[in-house]
Structure 1
């Protein structure tokens, strides 16, 4: 039986990281970032099994 695996990382604005970009990458969705006024979208992301 497969064992669930979770990985938690800290996203830091001071290191030019974006929580919205990270969420868009993990979910495969288009998300709009109000901070930099850009749409974050990663269509090349594969392996998303389920999305609500």
Structure 2
């Protein structure tokens, strides 16, 4: 049985990073960011079997 692994990093607005963009990339879904009024979507992300936000 495969062993799942997680990597935890801190997202910092001061370094122009977005928690919503990170969540959209990891989940493979379109997410709307109310802070900068943009839809975050990464259609090139492949291999997502299951997601739940």
Q: Could you report, residue by residue, the CA deviation over 1:11-31 in whole angstroms, capped at 9, with x for unpaired residues?
A: 000000000000000001110
Report the number of matched residues.
52
Runs of 4+ off more than 4 Å: none
Structure 2 residue runs without a partner (length 5+): none
Q: CA deviation at 1:51?
A: 2.3
Structure 1 residue runs without a partner (length 5+): none
Normalised by the size of structure 1, how large is the TM-score?
0.92
Q: Does 1:50 align with 2:47?
A: no
Normalised by the size of structure 2, how large is the TM-score?
0.91
